[in-house]
Structure 1
Amino acid sequence: MSLPAHAQQIEAAGRPVLELVTTLKPGQFVWSPGSAPEGPVLMVVNLATQRAILFRNGLPIGASTVSSGKPGYETPTGVFTVLEKKKEHYSKTYGNAPMPNMQRLTWKGIALHAGNLPGYPASHGCIRLPMKFSNLLFGATKLGMTVIITSFPVQPGQSTTPDLAAAIAPNATTLARAPFEWHPERSASGPVSVIISAADERAIVLRNGVEIGSAPVRVNGSIAGGFAYALRAWDATGQHWLKLQYSGAGQGMEVSPGEGDRFDAPWDFRHAVQTVLRPGSIIIVTPQTLHAGSSGSALTVIENDGGTR
């Protein structure tokens, strides 16, 4: 498997990972795990910029150039989890092609793995990574890690964020007593993701890739291209979140504790969500619909069906 001649690791030398990511050339990556040696891991892949950023405990610890799906084989956007990991894997669809350090995102064939990095989308849908970066990533991740794939042409920024699942005052929402679904027994354990679609005015809660709840939710104000919240820690002082924004200037957006009031949802649903959140949980807010076949573009959200590639 060939890689560009200039494929190499770039030393951080004290510079922020989010600053270095914009300077990377095809095949280059940066790895700085010392800033967060432990904690929940989240990966963000940006198809527009052909970059990936790895966060641990809310801090960026690595970034890399990637090569995603070429025209006709576009990599889907959405929220995924790592379903399977194999150090040595070969494609059953594309001539037994090697896929080192494979981390499967869908049973239909989309995965993270080492591969050729020409500087533009060139794969059959997978996300190719530099060989050494893919090896480091493989050692840092676990099954169930959340991977967000977006196509907005910006890099994520960091900021503090409010507790979106916190209880709110009576009469603060018209959906306070609206009916909702809650079935935590469908999946007793595993990583939790909450997906809020402004287009559908609905939220769904997934645990280990299984839907355990849903409710009507209205988002007040503009959400531009969408954003995500990752719960990086929960201690005696409260919840500590990382915010990732995918539109505008791509910088961190400072928000007040009252930001949670933008989310109009049933009181009891908020409380139920609070009971399942753990460090590493993700809340995704998207302007896109979750329904395939609608007038807008559908967002892929964590699949759990079987299959092989």
Structure 2
Amino acid sequence: MMRRLLPFAALALLIAPAAAAQQQRGPMTEPGAIERLKPGQFFWAPQIAPAGPVTMIVSLKTQRAYVYRNGVPIGVTTISSGKPGHTTPTGVFTILQKKVDHKSNLYNNAPMPYMQRLTWDGIALHAGALPGYPASHGCVRLPMAFAKLLYGVTSLGLTVVITNESLVPEVAPAASPVPSAPSDGHSNNAAFSWTPEVSPTGPVSIIVSGRDRRIVVLRNGKQIGSAPVMLDVPVANTEAFTLRAVDADGAHWMRLPLPDGSGKDGGELTADERTKGHVPDEFRQKLEGILAPGATMLVTRETLATSGTGSKLAVLVTDSK
């Protein structure tokens, strides 16, 4: 179900036909408009949120990608991800490299216009053919016009989340559980690592794993911290958040509706929800010291080693080639 993303329905967006570069205006006024997008079509409305940090979420299940700026959806597009044998990895990535006119180093110099690299072993966002089903060698193909527009609003270090509905069922409590966020502390003696010097600057991404009971902090795509996390309730669904602001009341995390329909609708993570997860006091203080608007947090029930489908869940991408 895609109807959890109805914030788009009230917006006047731009729609691009599959076989033409010309764009025509069309308000999203009815449910199901996103689902009815044909291969190569997209919506784009950057004027809805003119400034702020950008985050992208890709749904392999629905073959759609969503772009948020300052926590507000500004675009959605059809995609074509990896075909069987060349599946697109799920997880949290950062844009490592950008190039307008790029040729594949692995597949006979195949053109990859408006390439935005997610891994050094060949996974990237780029313009390409969209037949209406997964057909790439692992990359996420985008419509040419959308790839160009997206390229214009992104920067190195931007967070890209790639999701796929888990095929492994997990027992959850009868009551609807809430996501866990690293806000409250527990024993100061709990072991954790904190090495901010590994990556002194750049966008911050936080991943909380329900199965591992662990939190990992990345800055500019490199791990700078890790700690155990105590959860009052199991994590039932993957949820993503972007940090809107930090003030006297604490951190204001905005929930990003996921394209696969999992999790909750948008809105701010409540104080009650923040108290459901606990990390070491010293670790929490260090983490709060580097948080700034635009930080991204992904709360997942999956392990950080592998996803529920057996695919690699990419969390760390640090080596360059």
TM-score calculated relative to the size of structure 1: 0.85
Number of the residue aligned with 1:158: none
Q: Distance in 1 between matches of 2:248 and 2:35?
A: 37
In structure 2, relative to structure 1, the CA distance for the partners of 1:238 and 1:9 (3 Å cut) is farther
- Pick one of 53, 62, 74 that aligns with 1:49: 62
| Gaps in structure 1 of 5+ consecutive residues | 154-160
Q: Distance in 2 between matches of 1:98 and 1:133?
A: 16
Q: Distance in 2 between matches of 1:241 and 1:63?
A: 22
CA RMSD between the two structures: 2.9
Residues 220-299 of structure 1 correspond to what in structure 2 (within 5 A)? 220-234=232-246, 239-246=251-258, 251-252=264-265, 256-291=270-305, 298-299=312-313
Q: Distance in 1 between matches of 2:126 and 2:238?
A: 27
- Pick one of 214, 217, 224 that aligns with 1:205: 217
Q: Percent identity?
A: 51
Q: Distance in 2 between matches of 1:176 and 1:15?
A: 52
- Pick one of 92, 98, 115 that aligns with 1:79: 92
Alignment of 1:28 onto 2:41:
yes
Counting matched residue pairs gives: 292
TM-score calculated relative to the size of structure 2: 0.82
Shift of 1:250: 5.1
Indicate conservation of the 8 Å contact 2:179/2:235, yes or no. Answer: no
Q: Distance in 1 between matches of 2:141 and 2:184?
A: 42
Indicate conservation of the 8 Å contact 1:12/1:32, yes or no. Answer: no
In structure 2, relative to structure 1, the CA distance for the partners of 1:200 and 1:167 (3 Å cut) is closer
1:149-199 CA distance string (max 9 Å, x none): 00129xxxxxxx99944445xxxx4x4541211121222111111111111
Indicate conservation of the 8 Å contact 2:211/2:301, yes or no. Answer: yes
Shift of 1:35: 1.0
Secondary structure at the counterpart of residue 146 of structure 2: helix
Alignment of 1:124 onto 2:137:
yes
Indicate conservation of the 8 Å contact 1:12/1:20, yes or no. Answer: no
Alignment of 1:133 onto 2:146:
yes
| Gaps in structure 2 of 5+ consecutive residues | 1-16, 167-177
Shift of 1:242: 2.0
Shift of 1:79: 0.2
Indicate conservation of the 8 Å contact 2:213/2:231, yes or no. Answer: yes
